[in-house]
Amino acid sequence: ETGVTQTPRHLVMGMTNKKSLKCEQHLGHNAMYWYKQSAKKPLELMFVYNFKEQTENNSVPSRFSPECPNSSHLFLHLHTLQPEDSALYLCASSQVSAGVQETQYFGPGTRLLVL
């Protein structure tokens, strides 16, 4: 496979469920990102991992928990979500060289519906 892949593509979960979103990049990049895209709102950056270390957390509620075991894989663990968390969750990756972030490439996203 090439590029950035995400699984599952669609997810429906109840507010008491626990689920995980998976992202894998095959581009040899060293940085990965989670974004949330809600209807009629700009893309919101949630988490950034550079060289497997979390470098940014944009005040995301603790019911979202990221995990980056290596530079190719990124997870988003979900628990006790709220209906307003329903959105498209996009993963992206890029190469960071000498502190400069190059073009981000995105996966197809996971459409999440919280009931």
Question: Which spans of this chain sit near other proteins (rule: CB under 8 A)?
Answer: 40-43, 45, 48, 55-56, 88, 90, 92, 96, 99-101, 103-109, 111
Left if phi > 0, otherwise alpha if psi is -120 to 50, otherwise beta: which for 109? left
- Shortest gap between Cβ of 4 and other proteins (angstroms)? 9
Nearer to other proteins, 15 or 101 (CB): 101
- Joined together, the tokens standing for residue 18 give 């626990």
Name the pairing type of β-strands 110-114 and 87-94. antiparallel
| Of 22 and 111, CB closest to other proteins | 111
Nearest partner of 38 among 104, 112, 106, judged by Cα:
112
Q: Whole-angstrom Cα distance, residue 55 to residue 43? A: 18
Nearer to other proteins, 66 or 107 (CB): 107
CB of residue 39 vs other proteins: minimum separation in angstroms? 11
Query: Minimum CB separation from other proteins for residue 109, in Å?
Result: 4
CB atoms within 10 A of CB 48: 21
Q: To the nearest whole angstrom, how small is the minimum distance from the Cβ of residue 1 to other proteins?
A: 14
Using DSSP's 3-state secondary structure scheme, residue 83 falls into helix
CB nearer to other proteins: give 75 or 108: 108
